[in-house]
Structure formats: structure tokens, C-alpha cells
Amino acid sequence: MTVNQRTMRLSVAAIVISLALITVNDAYALNYEPIEFITNADDVTFGFPFALASDGTHLIVSDTTNEKIYVLQKVDSSWHVMGSFDRRSAVDMSFDRYGRLAVLTHVHPEGAIYLYNLTYNTDGTLANADIVHEIQGVTPNRTLFMFPHGLTTTTIDGHDLIIIGGGSGLDRKIQVYEVTDTGISLAFAFNNADIYDANGNDIGNVTNGYSINPWPSILDVKMSGDGKVMVAYKTGFIAIYNIDYNSRSVERIVSIGEAGSELGQFNEPRGILHDTNNNYLIVSDNLNNRLQVFDYSTLSDGINTPIFYYGSGIAGNGERELNTPRKIIMEDDKVYLADASNARIVVLTLNDTIPNDYDQPDIDPIEDREWYRFSAHREMFQTISRIIYTKLIEEGIDDYTATKTALNIPSKALEVVLTILRSLPNDARLNIPWSSSLKGDLVIDSNIVYNAACVIGKPGSTGISDPAEYHNPPPQIGDTLYCAPLAIPLADSGETIEGHIRSYFIDPDGVIREVYYYDNTGRHEGRNNDISTTEFYFDPFAIDLDKNGEWRLVNIFTNDGNEIRVEILIHVGSSYEFNDLSTLEYALLNSGISEEDAINTVNAIEDYIEENSIALPDDGVLIVNATEGSVYGLACILPHTPPLSIGEQVDCIVFFLANPSESITIDDLHLYQVVNGISTPIQDWYWSSSIPNPFIWIETITMNEAGDWSINADFTEHGSVSISTIVSFNVVSETVIGAIALIGTALSILAYKRR
């Protein structure tokens, strides 16, 4: 598809979607306009801004990555850091009527409330941040709260209060604390149905309340301009309560929303705010990556239509894109939003020339690859969403349906994963790494999308305490594949998913291998489930890899006697039986190189071979691994599976193919061998500006010494190694019959693609 075709298709699609939503929302011009993005101040660069507060002069920012609270002030047109203090995992803040800063922390597994007195020097810099009072959520004698979220300060009937969301487990209550000269103490607590005294005794019912099973976690607590308590629940609804402190009574006024990605629905709403100037309820719809703005005066139970929304629901870092937005505050009639995963604070103002439905969802197609790289769980599910969107478009599904279907996937799948993880004991984790590579496929049948995907991880991965980075494809012996089948009906089709699913692997020897999974009772073998009527199915499992070669994941969905098979072929190990350059092309594809880059790389090598009358071996063993971007590579064709014998020869190919969209600054290349720890140069190249495109070099190297060998190619930029590729193997003093495992962890050509 050409760029013009893509633009035309999206323009037409945008018109179709806009017309559809205009009919529903009666669209008009009013929306937020971003007027500033604060990513840094002085020498501070934000990592993960979470909570915000303002005293009218200073903007207070909690950064959970940097584990600090920053005090900012805008002087002329620039933001400056007036000071900071250490505070790990500060998830919410609020100033009380005395100008003291209340801070809620979410440190695992406890949490605490701190009340600070901030004082300043004559030049405006922060002099001290003194803790006036504090209360820990977990003490040796009693647990008040764990994993808290949401904090607000208020004064009711002369009582100075701090109200928080209790957290998880049995503490999922709105907790009301009183602040006096002697400290902070719990006064009472309530959920959506019941009221409890400070000792946890049930003392009454919430007027107009109702029970929710199970009790949802609380994500935010804020005061409205008319003195009511607004609470955002993880399950996607927001409730507003009126509390009487003296009588310990609570009345539920209204509950809006439900879990989902449609307008009026929420996915982990982590920030709420009452804009009293315009009488708006503003909701930071975290996993839907948007703000939704409602008329506070007309809220009613159930789904409410927003006046307008900012952000399309697709995570991004553009001017009108958000990525997991957190807390919101108002200052000088402007909205300040912690756009957490974009590491910035977005400042918004109203603009009556921007349509209320301006931010229509628009999912970009994704280039077809064997493996896709992701850096976080959310990005993984967004990648799956883009893959499914692209396939739906290729299958002739209209853009509106494809977008709406794909848009539902990240939030629904992530919620399933989080629900599973919360149910697991600490010693029974089953989780994908934060950062890895994904491979998947799908089938569309009877208005239902059936998908399966696997990611590369290590056995027992928690995805939390493990290092974020994991090695590039292909997977190796000793890795674990974390996989899941997924099924979702096409949007607005009215279909549901039911029937049966069987999932298993076939290993390189043709043996059926059962997968395993964990639940709160421990580890289980095999996946053979009945699916009751549902609108979304996602069920993760794992397999430990113990053989090189071709593995096949088989998922068989059965519905009303109709069998749908979704299979994924996965090559394990870096070695490939070499018979011609198509082996290299296959290896590149399996390592995540795009089909176009793989073909172009092999074509360039073929041209070089022909121009220089080079003869490669007819067969042997090629070892390979690769990732995305411009292709930097070192391939070695061994005469047979290692170990090799002294005197045998290895044909090495150094190659480079530039991505046209990249600025290439590689200006020299060094090829050397390391034998038993001693490095010896093989060849060096130096260029006046940058490496030629393409660059190919082929040479035969004789193994003249026994021991551990590696052939290294370092692509450098102004003397600094930018890309290093290594092939490692073993050479023995006499021929060893039979195949032995390769030695070392960097076993391959590493064709490294840079972004």
C-alpha cells in the first residue's frame, strides 16, 4: 500500500468514524489544547511523574522512577527546580488548609501517609521539608492499609481530614483520617456498601449503597467543589459520596461508568478532578490513554456521555496522545496532567475551535515480521492489537470495525493478566518479561478473531524482579516460552465465544509436549479447557525449551463442532542446516528481520559473491540471531556441527544494510578472533564519513589452534563500539564424532538492527 493510499484510507475512515460518533455525541467544538509539555527543569529529567500538587506558587511533582518529590516554580517562561526531597513511591499528594503537603506512598508491601511542612529561603529555594506527622499502613500490631492509592485533604465540621484509598485485600476501603496536633489517626472507613469504625467494626450501611463482589481496588480519591468525596475504582466506575464526619454516615450520590474502552467506560481510572470553574468532572482514563470530561451537574448512574475527550485511546507521545496518564490538578484554569509513561507533564487549556470528538482512534498497521520487539507489557498488548488490526484490514474488514476490535484488546488482556498475577502466591509466578520479543498468528472465523502469541523469557520469570531486557530471537535451549491463545468477536457483531480449547506443543522429535500454568493452588500440566459464553478469552501458559529445532504451538478452538486451528512455528537455537543462502534468509526472518530487509541482505550477498567469484560451501551449519533496524551482521558457515578440528575452515560473512530512514554514522569496522582469551586482528576498515551501503565481506578462516574460539565484528562510531557481533564455537585437537552443544551464550551471527 502506498503512502497516498494509506492517507486516503485513513481519511475516509476518519470521516466514517466521525460521522458515526457525531450521530451519537452531537459533536461540537470544544476540547483541550496542549500548550506546554514539561519533561525537565534545570538538570532534572522526569522518569515517571505520577502525582501533582500546587500551592499557587509551586508545582509539586512526585517521580516514582527517580524516587523524589520535586518543587518547581515557573520564572518568566522557564521551569526551575527550587528543591527536592527523597520519597520512594509517592503516588498522591495534596495541600491542606495550613499549606502542609500530605503525601501517600505505595511502597511494597506497606504504604504510609506523611504530612510535610515546606519552608523556603529568601531566594525562593526549598529550605526544608520537615515531616510534621506520619502514619504507617503496616505496624507490628495492626495493618491499616496496604498498596494504597488516592489521597485528598479536606476540612469538614472543623475537622482536618486526610482521606485515602485503602489499597488491596481486606483493606479496599475509603479511609478517613483526622489530623490533630498529636498526629494522624484513623476515624472511620467505608466501601460502597458498609461503614466501619476505627477498629474495623461494621457500624452501618452506606445510604443508596450496594455490595460489589469482589471489592475492587481504589485508584483515586478526591474532593469535589461541593464537598463530596469522589472515588475512582479499578473496575472502571467512579462513585461520588456525601459524608457526615460527626455522625459517621455516608450516602452514595451517583456511580458512573463501567470497565471498557467505549466512551463513558473506563480502564483503571487513576485520576479524577472536579473543575469547579466549568463544572466538569475530568477523568484520567489510564489504560485507555485519554481524558474524558463530563458535565458534573448532569451525572447519573450508569454510562454517561462525555462532553469531550482528549487522547484517542492509542498510547503515544504525540501532541494529542497520552501514555498511561495518572493524576490531574487545576491551576490558573489550566489542567496539569502527569503523562506518566511519556515522562512528561502536559498542560492543557480549553479551546472552543477544536471538535469534542477530534481524537479519533487511528491504529497504524504494523510491518509483517516473524518476531516483534516490545519494552513493556502494555506495549506488548498494543503490538498484538496492531497485528490484529493489520490482519483484519488485509482480510477486508472495514477500518472502523478493525479499529474498534483491536482497541479493546490491550485493556482486556492486561486486566486478565493482572487478575491472574494477583491470585498467585509469591512462589508461583508465571509472567512474561517486561521486555522481550513476540511472535503470533491469527485466524478469523464466523466474526470471531482467534489469535495466539508467544514471547521469549526465562524459567520462573516474574517480569518484575527480573532484568527488563531479555535476549533477542531466536529462543535458545533453557528459555521458556510464555504463550496465550486469544479470542475476541469483531466489534458490534453480537457474537460471543464459547466451546472448547486444547493447547499443546509438538517438539522437534514430533513428541506432543503439554504446557503448564499456575493458579492459586500451584502448578498444573496441560491446557484443555471449556470456554463458557464470554466476549473475551485470554489464558496464558508456558513451556520450557530443551531441544534445538522446530517447535510448533497448536491451539484448537472448537465451537459447535467447527474446529479452528491457530498454530505457531518457532525455531529454537541459533544453528541452521546450511545448503544455500535461502538458509540465511530464513534465519534472518526467524530473528525478527523484516522480509524486505532479509531479501535485500541476501541479494546483496549474492551480488558480492558473483562479482568476486566466491564459492561458499554447499552445506554445513549456519549460526544466526538478529533484531530490528539497519542490519549489521557477522555470519559464519561451519563445515559441520561443533566442535571443529584443528585445520578445518570457517567461511565468515560480514554484512551491513542500511535502513533508509536512519542516519548512519558507523565510520569503521574491526574483525578479530579471540582464541583462549587472546585477541588477534583479522581485518580493519576505516571510512572518511560512514560505512558503504551495502557493505559485504567474505573470508575463509582456518582453525589453527584448539580451544574456545569467537569471531567478533565491532561496528564503531568515532572509535566507540556501536554494534558488536560475535560467533562462538569450540575447536578440539582431533575430530569428535557426533554433535555437541555449542559453547558460550553468544552463539551466532548477531545481525543487529538499530532503531
Partners of 686 in the β-ladder = 668
Gap between the Cα atoms of 55 and 71, Å rounded: 10
Within 8 A by CB and 6+ apart from 272, the residues are 220, 222, 230, 232, 238, 281, 282, 283, 284, 328
> Which pLDDT score is estimated for 322?
94
Q: What is the mean pLDDT of residues 279-298?
A: 96
| More confidently predicted of 612 and 14 | 612
Confidence check: pLDDT of 21 > 50: no
Beta strand pairing status for 90-95 and 78-86? Answer: unpaired
- In this structure, are residues 151 and 93 in contact, taking their beta carbons and an 8 Å threshold? yes
Q: Using CA atoms, how far apart are residues 461 and 542, in angstroms rounded to an integer?
A: 11
Cα–Cα separations (whole angstroms), residue 456 to 215, 431, 440, 452, 548:
35, 11, 12, 14, 15
Mean pLDDT of the chain: 87
Task: Summarize the confidence of residues 359-380 as an average pLDDT.
Answer: 85
DSSP bridge partners of 272: 283
- Angle formed at CA 133 by CA 127 and CA 135, multiple of 5 degrees: 130
What pTM was computed for the model? 0.74
pLDDT of residue 148: 93
Say which DSSP state 745 is in. S
Q: Cα dist. 89→133, 231, 350, 434 in Å? A: 18, 21, 32, 19
Nearest to 751 by CA among 701, 703, 716, 713: 713
DSSP labels for 89-104?
A: TEEEEEE-TTS-EEEE
Q: What is the pLDDT of residue 729?
A: 83
For residue 258, the SS3 value is coil
Q: Which grid coordinates belong to 485?
A: 491463545
Express as a percent the part of the chain with pLDDT over 70: 89
Pairwise pLDDT comparison (169 vs 561), residue with the higher score: 561
Range 23-50 average pLDDT: 87
Each residue's pLDDT tens digit, 115-155: 999 999 999 999 999 999 999 998 888 889 988 999 999 99
Residue 588 contacts residue 626 (beta carbons within 8 Å): yes
Q: Chain-centre distance of CA 586, in angstroms?
A: 29
Q: State residue 736's pLDDT score.
A: 40
639 CB-side CA count, 13 A: 15
b/e sequence 656-693, b meaning 16+ C-beta within 10 Å: bbbbeeeebebbbbbbebbbeeeeeeeeebeeeeebee
Q: Is the pLDDT confidence value at 687 over 90?
A: yes
Q: What is the pLDDT of residue 663?
A: 78
pLDDT band at 604 (very low <50, low <70, confident <90, very high): very high
- Distances in Å between the Cα of 62 and the Cα atoms of 65, 345, 649 are 9, 11, 60
Lowest mean pLDDT among 202-206, 378-382, 740-744: 740-744
Lowest mean pLDDT among 246-255, 280-289, 379-388, 656-665: 656-665
Domains and CATH numbers, the chain: 40-212 (2.130.10.10), 372-572 (2.60.40.2550), 575-754 (2.60.40.1930)
Is residue 562 over pLDDT 70? Answer: yes
Half-sphere exposure of 512 (CA within 13 A, CB side): 9
pLDDT at residue 214 in the model:
77
Whole-number pLDDT of residue 375: 80
Over residues 90-108, mean pLDDT: 95
Closest CA relative to residue 515, chosen from 539, 482, 541: 541
Quote the Cα angle for 92-97-100, to 5°. Answer: 55
pLDDT at 15 over 80: no
Range from 257-261, 519-523, 548-552, 732-736 that averages highest in pLDDT: 548-552
CB 91 within 8 A of CB 104: yes
Q: State the DSSP code for 547.
A: S
- CA–CA distance, 59 with 52 (Å, rounded to integer): 7
What pLDDT digit, counting tens, does each position of 502-535 carry? 999 999 999 999 999 887 787 889 999 899 888 8
C-alpha cell at 234: 479499578
First to last CA, the chain: 23
Mean pLDDT of all residues in 87-98: 96
**At residue 690, does pLDDT exceed 70?**
yes
Look at residue 508 in the predicted model and tell me its pLDDT: 94
**Helical (H) or strand (E) element with 210:** none
Amino acid at the residue 254: V
Angstrom distances, CA of residue 16 to CA of 260, 398, 447: 22, 10, 21
Is the model's pLDDT at 212 over the cut of 90?
Answer: no
Say if residues 503 and 527 touch (Cβ distance below 8 Å): yes
Question: How many other C-beta atoms are found inside a 10 Å radius of the C-beta of residue 294?
Answer: 22
Question: What pLDDT score does 17 carry?
Answer: 38
Q: In whole angstroms, what is the distance from residue 122 CA to residue 131 CA?
A: 21
Instruction: Report the percent of the chain where pLDDT is more than 90.
Output: 58
Position 457 pLDDT exceeds 80 = yes
Residue 271, classed as helix, strand or coil, is strand
CB 685 within 8 A of CB 696: no
Question: What mean pLDDT comes out for the span 60-79?
Answer: 96
215 or 42, which is more confident?
A: 42
List the single range of 187-191, 268-272, 558-562 with lowest mean pLDDT: 558-562
At 332, which amino acid appears? Answer: D
Report the pLDDT value the prediction gives residue 72, as an integer from 0 to 100. 98
CB 256 within 8 A of CB 294: yes
Lowest mean pLDDT among 28-42, 435-449, 540-554, 617-631: 617-631
Nearest 10 degrees: CA dihedral of 641, 646, 649, 654? 80
pLDDT at 1: 39
What are the grid coordinates assigned to 203, written together?
Answer: 457500624
Banded pLDDT at 500 (limits 50, 70, 90): very high
Q: Supply the pLDDT for residue 544.
A: 94
pLDDT at 505: 97
Residue 434: predicted pLDDT: 67
pLDDT digits (tens, 9 = 90+) for 624-662: 655 556 888 888 899 988 888 999 999 999 999 888 777
- Spatial distance between the Cα atoms of 113 and 93, rounded to a whole number of angstroms: 10
Look at 164-178, 573-587, 617-631 and tell me which has the smallest mean pLDDT. 617-631
Long-range contacts of the stretch 235-243 (C-beta < 8 A, 24+):
235/259, 236/260, 236/265, 236/266, 236/267, 236/268, 236/269, 237/266, 238/266, 238/269, 238/272, 238/281, 238/283, 239/192, 240/299, 241/174, 241/190, 241/206, 243/156, 243/176, 243/190
Mean predicted confidence (pLDDT) in 373-388: 85
CA nearest to 439, candidates 489, 389, 487, 475: 475
CA distance 212 to 422: 18
For residue 180, what is the enclosing H or E element? strand 174-180
Residue with grid cell 473496575, as numbered in its chain = 235
**Contact by Cβ (8 Å): 201, 215:** no
Q: Which residue bears the cell 534465519?
A: 587
Which residues, 6 or more positions from 484, have their beta carbon under 8 angstroms from its beta carbon? 413, 452, 453, 538, 539, 540, 541
- Which pLDDT score is estimated for 333? 95
- Could you read off the pLDDT of 413-441 as tens digits, one per residue? 877 777 776 666 665 555 566 678 888 88
Q: At what angle do helices 581-590 and 595-611 cross, to 10 degrees?
A: 150
